[in-house]
Chains A and B, each alone.
Chain A
Amino acid sequence: MLEPILLSLKVAVAAVAVDFFFGLGIARTMARKEFRGKNVVESLIILPMVLPPTVLGYGLLILLGKRGPIGRFLLETFDVQLVFTWWAAVIASAVVSFPLMYQSAKAAFAGVDVSLEAAARTLGAKELRIFLTITLPLAWPGILAGLVLSFARALGEFGATLMVAGNIPGKTQTIPLAIYFAVESGDTDAARNLVLVITLLSFAAVFWLNWWSRKKLHVWKKGDSSRAESEYP
């Protein structure tokens, strides 16, 4: 009972870390730059959200499997096999939850007034300082929303995970997999307990996010909240 919970948390945290790192960089670029084929790139980024997880799982198997381009490279160069390890579960969860992180972060970056960054520039600030002191704090509520939503999504990932990581108890069996196989084997007590745990975890994450953004909004602006509200997703 405890094993799938801890594993799920470990996988979700690692997946969100990957999403955060790539999501921030890509979202920031896409929010401010215009280039040819931007629509195509954007659609590809969003695609994992609308595709069936089994399609993603199949795609990942092709890429990461022994005969896939990435899988073979890793096996031959580092003697590492990703498929059917908990890392494969991390990759599956990260890919499936990435659009949520990306969408929130992009909207948050786009909501930061460019004249604030311009003002910081005229005050002598370098680009990194502007990003850390102006852009990131102002976009933070949206980014945090992306973090929480992608965490909840990663926690619940089932289809793609099953295909690339399998169902190995103690190794790749996360809560959703454990629930499915518990039901299948008739162990309804275990299934019910795990269902309660994952529902509570997800509810707590989303509830905390709502509570936090309300509180934050209150501290910043007592008089004029019109501008702050537009920065919240």
Chain B
Amino acid sequence: MLKVNIHKVFPGITIDVSFEFGRGFLVLFGPSGSGKSTILNCISGLQQPDRGSISLNGKGFFSSSDKIAIPARSRRIGYVFQDYALFPHMTVKDNVMYGIPDRCKKGKGYRVGALDLMQMLKIEQLQDRYPGQLSGGEKQRVAVARALMVEPDLLLLDEPLSALDHTNRKNLQIELKQLQQAWNIPFVFVTHSRREMHMLADEIIFLERGKKQTYVFPAVRSSGLNLAY
């Protein structure tokens, strides 16, 4: 269970959100500037709220009252950035394996898991290429593989499909949905596309100017969303 209560003041906008989320696909929906990315950054630990608390499965990550702020590196939260943030000087394989502690790399080079994961995301044939040699869709798959390789307890995705063309985007939406079910960890997905929201969401939070507007509880899930399309 992810419990979030964030209060953060910026010049011109105040973010004030609290929600709880258990499993499946949570979509944070709102126009740009509504605070979606800041919320992801606070959950991941890259930014700190001014006030509030954040916990995942009972582990406290941040609490302004108890003065806790666990650093991002210790939270085990995967993060797929909007521009993917792949390391341009490393091959796909090195990117994917960056999060594996060195002790696991000894022996055969990489764990079976890494190869399996690359196969699952259809990037195993790309493993010796550099990010500059990949298409947008391929970069996105590599970014997802890299984030999942650390076996996170939660995956955050910040508009990961916004740079892709229509066909690619549709395929990846389906794959992300399948991936979420296969890994069985909650995904928090930020988008400003209504269509994307409807395809992916189990739960939706609408954001406007840093505030939560309506909270649609599993309504979308029961409206017949499944993987068949």
User: Which residues of A pack against B, CB within 8 Å?
Assistant: 113, 115-116, 118-126, 133-134, 137-138, 220-225, 227-228
Contact = CB atoms under 8 A, between A and B. Distances in A.
Contacts of B76: 124
A214 to B, nearest CB: 16
B133 A221 contact: yes
A55 to B, nearest CB: 41
A122 B89 contact: no
B85 A225 contact: no
A137 B130 CA distance: 15
Interface of B: 44-46, 71-79, 81, 83, 85, 87-89, 98-99, 101, 130, 132-133, 146-147, 150
- A-B pairs, top 10 by smallest CB distance, nearest first, are A123-B99, A221-B132, A119-B85, A122-B79, A121-B72, A115-B85, A224-B132, A124-B73, A223-B133, A118-B46
B132 A122 contact: no
B146 A137 contact: no
B162 to A, nearest CB: 15
19 contacts: A116-B87, A118-B79, A119-B79, A119-B85, A121-B46, A122-B79, A123-B98, A124-B74, A124-B101, A124-B150, A125-B98, A125-B99, A134-B87, A222-B133, A223-B132, A223-B133, A227-B88, A227-B132, A228-B132
Contacts, number: 74
Contact of A220 (B88, B98, B101): B88
Contacts of B89: 137-138, 220
Residue of A119, A122, A124, A220 with most partner-chain B CB within 10 A: A122
A227 B89 CA distance: 11
Given A123-B98, A221-B88, A115 B81 contact: yes
A135 to B, nearest CB: 11
A124 B132 contact: no
Contacts of B74: 124
Given A124-B101, A221-B133, A116 B85 contact: yes
Contacts of A125: 73, 98-99
A227 B88 CA distance: 9
B44 A115 contact: no
A126 B132 contact: no
Contacts of A118: 46, 72, 79, 81, 85
Residue of B76, B78, B79 with most partner-chain A CB within 10 A: B79
